């Protein structure tokens, strides 16, 4: 036998121990600390892409695009609040803090949202004058840490969002690393400058729905029952959490799927805790229907919304509106290929940059570095966001008209079919071309 | 997630007031638990006689049921009907025969508790309505425990309402949420404890029953439960002669107690105690976390 | 003599009516003294006050009494439920009896005086408030306390000052245990002066000897994530 010419197998890498996994093991071995990063899950998950709309043809009649009316407005908070808010499009900006984002980015979000008649949301760390000034409708988050929480801003807000969790980390508290605790952020949060900030995972003065009811009563009393009160949860047990938020007295439930982003959290949390948006909407809607509260208590969903089709699909599954975070940052200029050289200097590439916790964002968005932050022009970035939001609304209308709806809220689950068995089971719509909904039990 | 009330009478003069006091306390806790309500009252008992609390429906003909059970078992039964529930009194040595006959011949009915003195009533609906339909205000006894429920993960049904009774004259109510009840339930089932719901609180009741069967005192069983049960809880527990309170070590769920020469009272909130006689002069305090508080009636 | 106070009886009026009337008071003009009867453990009594009014509550109150208080002086002639004076900004809240859990939680300013005991998580996430407890406090008090002072004449429960930031803790009695990153610190003259000022504000000047207190604060070991301080 010729031992010199045996064909060799090509080098084969493990599917289990892939390059990323190997690099993470080495990183952990070197530091002894879990990986902390920003953004949302990066793994492939069953998502809204696996759903398709059934456009009208002979059995149903479509509406004429651009001419026949297709409403997009949403009223939020009519259950108890004396002053419910109305937004022109069913797409809101999710809570993102000043601290995690630069003041310029917060201003840009306010400008963009206001230009198209929708709301933006504060985050952990309080309300800035810039964001209040540039946001026609501003939702003030009430978080476990209560950083920057004060009654004056509560009274200035248009709505209050009691945050119990977020999709990136249901059950976890916040983090903000020292690089971003600038003098202004530190002062707003009453923290020493430059420390790695931890936030609590539970609210300090209530736990559970029976006590949440009393907390909501207090917030209503402080604000004279004027402001809508939202309750935000990360998607994990959406049926129960939605039902309990309603029982505790919420006007609006905000449900964030695991694709939702974060400023900084353990990677293991982002990738392994919570359920995808696709799987979360129907149980939440079911809870509202079981309580006779669907469309009375509004449901806002978020976590990986990217285009008008995503918006329309969420509404068809029963949501009243959606919320966007990551996509809004991209509209502002996050991960822009034009900054490839800057990203390369950080050891990454456009589209992969997720070290939002580091505060070295070349786009000037997830940073407190004054030099970097001035790279973002709030007016121009706000304009880009407004454009993008308009496109989302137009796309959702396009689909709604094609399905014969004069308001996007008239989209129904029956307007959808699924491409995969997984999505069919999770969204509880039939596999395309069949009447089969796999495992059509309850949540 | 719920509201809890409990009352342990020290001065026998107040035994006739037990139901009145308890029903007021229960009504005040409606906000914490509008889904269902229930209560256990420890009234009069007789040696050798067991009271079985039986849950039916609005259409149940309990007289026919009792007659049928008498025919089937030959046991002499006495019956008291209160709305959807009935109390069957029978010779203690016939309890297992009657239970078996009930199970076989009337599977739509359920035994919610039994013992020499305990009576348990629970229904879906607002606490005030539940108290009224069973006429709690006119019940008398030495101690009683009530519960208003805001269901978290298990179903809003009568069976899912508290109190849970898993042993003779025992009952437990719970405010909070346990995080290891599924694995513990499987262990307890192997030890012969029966469960009728998927409710986490029933597992806590079953755990105490298992410990009491093995000879623990109520205080010992509760102390041991601090290690066995994970999660958040405030418990109020009743036995034939005892009344106890326990909170988990983190103690997020509220608890207020009041004591006078005449009674010991428990409420999830002070509001529940505000109308009790002599409350203005009562000793009012918050029970410490991970600390068993218990009272026993003199034999 | 002050004029006869405004009186609201919660046996006949609702908490909502009470708060509405208190919210209509402004800093200019004399907001007067308000007396609240029959609170019966009710929740959210005198919350969101925004004027230098004096409110006297006769009886026990429920959750969040004087929550988010600004400028007002609220005295509770009884016990207080969960979260009394939570997120207070300024002013005074005085509990004549005991306080339940999370007293003064996340509060930014003002003075909270508790004549009796406070239970678990007293001063949790405090952000500048001064709290004086004449009795003892429960476990996990001053958890993640960021700023302000917590002065306790009695004892402290388990895990005092866990994950503490810059809040300053003074305890006269025993401490069951210190939480993660909380350490005893030297009591220097500047600290005695701070403590004396707090005691004076609480009406205890001359009644209590500052030298009997020990000071606890953050070891600042958790300020930066690294391999040896992950919990």
CB distance C63–A34 less than 8 Å?
A: no
Superfamily designation of domain B2-44+124-296: Aminohydrolase, N-terminal nucleophile (Ntn) domain (3.60.20.10)
- Cα separation values, B90 from A302, B102, B114, Å: 59, 13, 11
Is C212 domain-assigned?
no
Neighbour count for residue A1 (Cβ, 10 Å): 5
Is C231 domain-assigned?
no
The pLDDT of A200-205, averaged and rounded, is 95
Please provide the average confidence, as pLDDT, over all residues in chain B: 95
Angle separating helix axes A238-247 and A277-290, nearest 10 degrees = 40
Neighbour count for residue C82 (Cβ, 10 Å): 29
Complex ipTM: 0.93
CB distance C82–A31 less than 8 Å?
A: no
Tens-digit pLDDT profile for residues C167-197: 999 999 999 999 999 999 999 999 999 999 9
Would you say B204 and B172 are in contact if contact means Cβ atoms under 8 Å apart?
A: yes
Among 3.50.50.60, 3.30.70.240, 1.10.230.10, 3.40.50.300, what is the CATH number of B45-116?
3.30.70.240
B252 is catalytic: no
Return the biggest CA–CA distance within chain A: 92
Tens-digit pLDDT profile for residues A383-418: 999 999 999 999 999 999 999 999 999 999 999 999
The pLDDT of B184-195, averaged and rounded, is 95
Supply the DSSP symbol for A8.
P
pLDDT at A345: 97
**Which member of B252, B273, B285 has the closest CB to residue C98?**
B285
Contacts of A237 in chain B (CB under 8 A): 153
pLDDT at C227: 65
Task: Please report which confidence band the pLDDT of residue B299 belongs to, taking 50, 70 and 90 as the band edges.
Answer: low
**Which member of C128, C223, C230 has the closest CB to residue A33?**
C230
Supply the DSSP symbol for A173.
-
pLDDT at B53: 97
The pLDDT of B91-115, averaged and rounded, is 95
The whole-angstrom distance between C49's CA and the closest CA on chain A is: 8
Neighbour count for residue A62 (Cβ, 10 Å): 15
CB distance C139–B254 less than 8 Å?
A: no
Contacts of B275 in chain C (CB under 8 A): 40
- Three-class DSSP category at B26: helix
Number of domains in chain C: 1
Domain interval for residue C186: 6-202
CB distance A207–B2 less than 8 Å?
A: no
Phi, psi of A21 (to 5 degrees): -60, -45
Return the biggest CA–CA distance within chain C: 64
Instruction: In whole angstroms, give the CA distance from residue A229 to residue A163.
Output: 11
Q: Which helix (H) or strand (E) holds B234?
A: strand B231-238
Q: Tell which of B5, B153, B272 to mutate to test the A interface (max A CBs under 10 Å).
A: B153
Instruction: In whole angstroms, give the CA distance from residue A434 to residue A439.
Output: 14
Task: Please report which confidence band the pLDDT of residue C229 belongs to, taking 50, 70 and 90 as the band edges.
Answer: low
Would you say A325 and A262 are in contact if contact means Cβ atoms under 8 Å apart?
A: no
Would you say A162 and A222 are in contact if contact means Cβ atoms under 8 Å apart?
A: no
Q: Chain C residue with minimal CA distance to A224?
A: C20
* Predicted confidence (pLDDT) at residue A139 exceeds the cutoff of 90: yes
Would you say A244 and B150 are in contact if contact means Cβ atoms under 8 Å apart?
A: yes
Return the biggest CA–CA distance within chain B: 55
**Which member of B252, B271, B286 has the closest CB to residue C41?**
B271
Q: For chain B, what are the domain ranges?
A: 2-44+124-296, 45-116
Tens-digit pLDDT profile for residues C96-150: 999 999 999 999 999 999 999 999 999 999 999 999 999 999 999 999 999 999 9
Question: Domains along chain A?
Answer: 41-411 (3.20.20.70)
Tokens read off for A94: 């999710």
């Amino acid at each position: 036998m010729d031992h010199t010419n045996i064909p060799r197998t090509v080098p084969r890498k493990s599917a289990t121990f892939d390059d990323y996994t190997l690099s993470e093991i080495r990183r952990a071995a070197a530091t002894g600390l879990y990986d902390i990063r920003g953004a949302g899950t990066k793994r492939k998950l069953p998502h809204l892409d696996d759903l398709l709309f059934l456009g009208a043809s002979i059995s149903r009649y479509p509406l004429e695009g651009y001419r026949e009316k297709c409403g997009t407005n949403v009223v939020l908070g009519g259950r108890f609040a004396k002053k419910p808010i109305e937004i022109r499009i069913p797409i809101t900006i999710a809570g993102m803090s000043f601290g995690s984002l630069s003041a310029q980015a917060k201003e840009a979000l306010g400008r963009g949202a206001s230009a198209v008649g929708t709301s933006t949301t504060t985050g952990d760390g309080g309300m800035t004058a810039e964001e209040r000034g540039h946001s026609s409708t501003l939702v003030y988050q009430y978080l476990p840490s209560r950083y920057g929480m004060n009654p004056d801003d509560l009274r200035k807000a248009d709505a209050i969002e009691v945050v119990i969790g977020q999709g990136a980390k249901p059950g976890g508290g916040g983090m903000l690393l020292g690089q971003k605790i600038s003098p202004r952020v530190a002062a707003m949060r009453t923290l020493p400058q430059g420390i790695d900030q931890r936030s609590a995972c539970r609210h300090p003065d209530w736990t559970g729905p029976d006590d949440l009811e009393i907390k909501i009563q207090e917030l209503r009393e402080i604000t004279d029952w004027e402001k809508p009160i939202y309750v935000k949860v990360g998607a994990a047990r959406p049926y129960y959490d939605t039902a309990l938020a309603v029982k505790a007295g919420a006007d609006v439930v905000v449900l964030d799927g695991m694709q939702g982003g974060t400023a900084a959290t353990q990677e293991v949390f982002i990738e392994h805790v919570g359920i995808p948006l696709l799987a979360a909407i129907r149980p939440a809607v079911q809870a509202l229907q079981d309580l006779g509260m669907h469309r009375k208590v509004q449901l806002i969903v978020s976590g990986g919304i990217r285009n008008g089709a995503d918006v329309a699909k969420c509404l068809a599954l029963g949501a009243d509106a959606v919320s966007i975070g990551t996509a809004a940052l991209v509209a502002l200029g996050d991960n822009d290929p034009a900054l490839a050289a800057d990203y390369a200097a950080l050891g990454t590439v456009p589209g992969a940059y997720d070290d939002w916790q580091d505060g070295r964002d070349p786009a000037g968005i997830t940073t407190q570095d004054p030099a970097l932050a001035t790279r973002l022009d709030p007016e121009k970035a706000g304009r880009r966001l407004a454009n993008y939001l308009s496109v989302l609304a137009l796309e959702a209308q396009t689909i709604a008209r094609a399905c014969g709806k004069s308001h996007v809220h008239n989209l129904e689950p029956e307007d959808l079919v699924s491409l995969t068995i997984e999505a069919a089971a999770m969204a509880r719509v039939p596999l395309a071309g069949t009447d089969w909904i796999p495992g059509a039990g309850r949540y | 997630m719920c509201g809890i009330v409990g009352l342990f009478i020290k001065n026998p003069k107040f035994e006739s007031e037990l139901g009145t006091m308890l029903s007021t306390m229960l009504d005040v806790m409606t906000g914490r638990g509008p889904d269902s309500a229930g209560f256990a009252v420890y009234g009069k008992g007789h040696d050798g006689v067991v009271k079985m609390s039986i849950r039916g429906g609005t259409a149940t003909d309990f007289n026919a049921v009792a007659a049928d059970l008498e025919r089937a078992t030959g046991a002499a039964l006495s019956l008291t009907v209160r709305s959807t529930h009935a109390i069957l009194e029978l010779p203690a040595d016939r309890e297992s025969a009657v239970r078996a006959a009930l199970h076989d011949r009337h599977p739509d009915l359920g035994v919610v508790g039994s013992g020499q003195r305990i009576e348990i009533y629970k229904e879906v609906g607002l606490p005030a309505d539940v108290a009224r339909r069973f006429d709690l205000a006119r019940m008398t006894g030495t101690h009683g425990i009530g519960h208003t429920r805001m269901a978290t993960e298990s179903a809003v049904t009568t069976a899912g309402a508290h109190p849970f009774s898993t042993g003779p004259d025992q009952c437990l109510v719970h405010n909070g949420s346990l995080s290891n009840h599924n694995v513990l339930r499987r262990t307890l089932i192997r030890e012969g404890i029966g469960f009728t719901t998927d409710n986490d609180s029933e597992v806590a009741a079953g755990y105490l029953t298992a410990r009491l069967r093995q000879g623990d005192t109520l205080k010992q069983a509760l102390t041991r439960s601090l290690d066995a049960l994970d999660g958040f809880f405030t418990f109020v527990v009743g036995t034939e002669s005892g009344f106890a309170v326990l909170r988990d070590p983190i103690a997020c769920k509220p608890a207020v107690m009041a004591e006078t020469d005449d009674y010991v009272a428990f409420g999830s909130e002070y509001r529940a105690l505000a109308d009790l006689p002599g409350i203005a002069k009562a000793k009012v305090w918050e029970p410490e976390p991970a600390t068993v508080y218990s009272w026993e009636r003199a034999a | 003599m002050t004029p006869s106070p405004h009186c609201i009886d919660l046996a006949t009026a609702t908490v909502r009516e009470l708060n509405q009337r208190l919210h209509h008071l402004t800093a200019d003009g004399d907001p007067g003294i308000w007396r609240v009867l029959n609170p019966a453990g009710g929740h959210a009594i005198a919350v969101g006050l925004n004027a230098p009014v004096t409110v006297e509550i006769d009886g026990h109150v429920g959750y969040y009494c004087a929550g988010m208080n600004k400028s007002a002086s609220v005295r509770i002639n009884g016990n207080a439920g969960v979260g009394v004076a939570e997120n207070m900004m300024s002013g005074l809240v005085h509990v004549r009896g005991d306080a339940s859990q999370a007293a003064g939680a996340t509060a930014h300013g003002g003075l909270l005086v508790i004549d009796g005991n406070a239970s678990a998580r007293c001063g949790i996430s405090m952000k500048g408030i001064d709290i004086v407890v004449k009795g003892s406090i429960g476990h996990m008090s001053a958890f993640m306390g960021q700023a302000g002072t917590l002065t306790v004449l009695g004892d402290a429960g388990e895990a005092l000052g866990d994950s503490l930031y810059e809040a300053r803790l003074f305890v006269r009695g025993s401490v069951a245990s210190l939480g993660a990153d909380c350490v005893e610190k030297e009591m220097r003259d500047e600290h005695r002066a701070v403590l004396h000022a707090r005691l004076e504000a609480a009406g205890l000047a001359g009644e209590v000897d500052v030298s009997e207190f020990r000071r606890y604060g953050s070891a600042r070991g958790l300020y930066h994530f690294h391999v040896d301080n992950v919990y």
